[in-house]
């Protein structure tokens, strides 16, 4: 089967507005067919920290912006608790189109596969070339897969910096949706509190690296 990729859609100019404009027309894999629009990354063009999620959810697909739904709420709170202003960060996804299946009347998130993650990888590499941040935070298995170029176990790598194709300072952590799921049941309240605290602790590690490499982060 022909290996599809976003590479053919990457423009020569590597500034963020040009990349976002070109990504809107991307047909580098089949996911554009079911999605409302491309959801490109957003944030400070001089951001020193880049946070990477999996793919847009239902709300993000409609809004055209990353992390504006429930998982974004967890992320915003955790960033604030870690001392990182979302406005000082750049937030994006490993896969730029929403992959979903219909359950009743609801569009339910479907995990992107290896082919889709790697087809979208040129956009992530281009964003990081444009931004050249001090630290990259991969949240969850899909983002970590995109950073390493192959499937990895998040829990084996979590909370530490790694050298990856995205950055020599790639921190691996869990996805905020995994924390959100623990909020669903009262009997999971302790697990939720622990996982949220651990997530904030991971983000503080990224913040600490910014503090070491410059004084303007998180102000
Ligand atoms: N989950 C993600 O991984 N990304 C989003 O933008 C929203 C939810």
Domain count for the chain, please give it.
Answer: 1
- pLDDT for 151-190, tens place per residue? 999 999 999 999 999 999 999 999 999 999 999 999 999 9
The CATH number given to whatever domain includes residue 158 is 3.40.470.10
Establish whether residue 42 lines the binding site of ligand 1, counting it when its CB lies within 6 angstroms of any ligand atom: no
Establish whether residue 71 lines the binding site of ligand 1, counting it when its CB lies within 6 angstroms of any ligand atom: yes
pLDDT band at 86 (very low <50, low <70, confident <90, very high): confident
pLDDT for residue 217 is more than 50: no
For residue 9, give Cα distances in angstroms to 84, 90, 126.
Answer: 33, 22, 11
Which residue from 110, 177, 181 has its CB within 8 A of the most atoms of ligand 1, so it is best to mutate? 177
* Spatial distance between the Cα atoms of 34 and 70, rounded to a whole number of angstroms: 21
Asked if the structure places residue 61 within a domain, the reply is: yes
- pLDDT for 122-146, tens place per residue? 999 999 999 999 999 999 999 999 9
Asked if the structure places residue 218 within a domain, the reply is: no
In the prediction, which pLDDT does 2 show? 57
In the prediction, which pLDDT does 46 show? 95
Asked if the structure places residue 182 within a domain, the reply is: yes
Report the length, in residues, of the chain: 219
pLDDT for residue 71 is more than 70: yes
Which residue from 35, 43, 60, 62 has its CB within 8 A of the most atoms of ligand 1, so it is best to mutate? 60
* Spatial distance between the Cα atoms of 83 and 62, rounded to a whole number of angstroms: 29
Q: What range defines the domain where residue 104 resides? A: 12-212
Asked if the structure places residue 170 within a domain, the reply is: yes
Task: State CA 179 to chain mean position distance.
Answer: 15
Q: Retrieve residue 178's tokens.
A: 């995994």
pLDDT band at 219 (very low <50, low <70, confident <90, very high): very low
Tokens 């991307």 belong to residue: 26
Residue 119 exposure: Cα atoms within 13 Å on the Cβ side:
20
pLDDT for residue 1 is more than 80: no
Establish whether residue 66 lines the binding site of ligand 1, counting it when its CB lies within 6 angstroms of any ligand atom: yes
Please name the helix (run of DSSP H) or strand (run of DSSP E) that holds residue 73, with its range, or none.
helix 70-82
Maximal C-alpha separation, the chain = 53
Asked if the structure places residue 161 within a domain, the reply is: yes
* Spatial distance between the Cα atoms of 113 and 110, rounded to a whole number of angstroms: 9
Asked if the structure places residue 143 within a domain, the reply is: yes
Report CA(162)–ligand 1 centroid distance (Å). 22
* Spatial distance between the Cα atoms of 36 and 65, rounded to a whole number of angstroms: 12
Report CA(215)–ligand 1 centroid distance (Å). 29
Asked if the structure places residue 90 within a domain, the reply is: yes
Cβ-in-10-Å burial (0-12, 13-18, 19+) of 192 comes to: middle
Percent of the chain clearing pLDDT 90 (strictly above): 91
In the prediction, which pLDDT does 69 show? 96
pLDDT band at 212 (very low <50, low <70, confident <90, very high): confident
Report CA(58)–ligand 1 centroid distance (Å). 9
* Spatial distance between the Cα atoms of 137 and 122, rounded to a whole number of angstroms: 18
Which atom of ligand 1 lies closest to the CA of 91? 6
Mean pLDDT of 33-47: 97
Asked if the structure places residue 1 within a domain, the reply is: no
Average pLDDT over all residues of the chain:
94
pLDDT for residue 96 is more than 60: yes
Q: Which one, of 51, 33, 32, lies nearest residue 41 by Cα?
A: 51
pLDDT for residue 214 is more than 70: no
pLDDT band at 216 (very low <50, low <70, confident <90, very high): very low
Which atom of ligand 1 lies closest to the CA of 175? 3
């Amino acid at each position: 089967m022909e290996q599809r990729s976003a590479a053919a859609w990457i423009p020569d100019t590597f500034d963020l507005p040009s990349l976002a404009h070109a990504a809107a027309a991307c047909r580098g894999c089949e996911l554009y067919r079911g999605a409302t629009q491309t959801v490109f990354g957003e944030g400070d063009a001089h951001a020193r920290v880049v946070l990477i999620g999996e793919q847009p959810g239902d709300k993000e697909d409609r809004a055209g912006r990353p992390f504006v739904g429930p998982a974004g709420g967890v992320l915003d709170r955790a960033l604030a608790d870690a001392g990182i202003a979302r406005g000082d960060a750049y937030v994006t996804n490993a896969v730029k189109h929403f992959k979903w299946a219909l359950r009743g009347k609801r569009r339910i998130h479907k995990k992107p596969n290896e082919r889709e993650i790697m087809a979208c990888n040129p956009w992530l590499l281009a964003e990081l070339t444009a931004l050249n941040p001090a630290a990259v935070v991969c949240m969850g298995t899909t983002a970590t897969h995109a950073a390493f170029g192959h499937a990895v176990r998040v829990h084996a790598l979590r909370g530490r910096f790694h050298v990856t194709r995205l950055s020599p300072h790639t921190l691996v952590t869990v996805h905020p949706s995994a924390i959100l799921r623990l909020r669903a049941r009262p009997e999971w309240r302790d697990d939720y509190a622990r996982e949220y605290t651990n997530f904030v602790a991971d983000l503080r590690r990224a913040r600490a690296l910014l503090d070491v490499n410059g004084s303007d982060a998180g102000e």
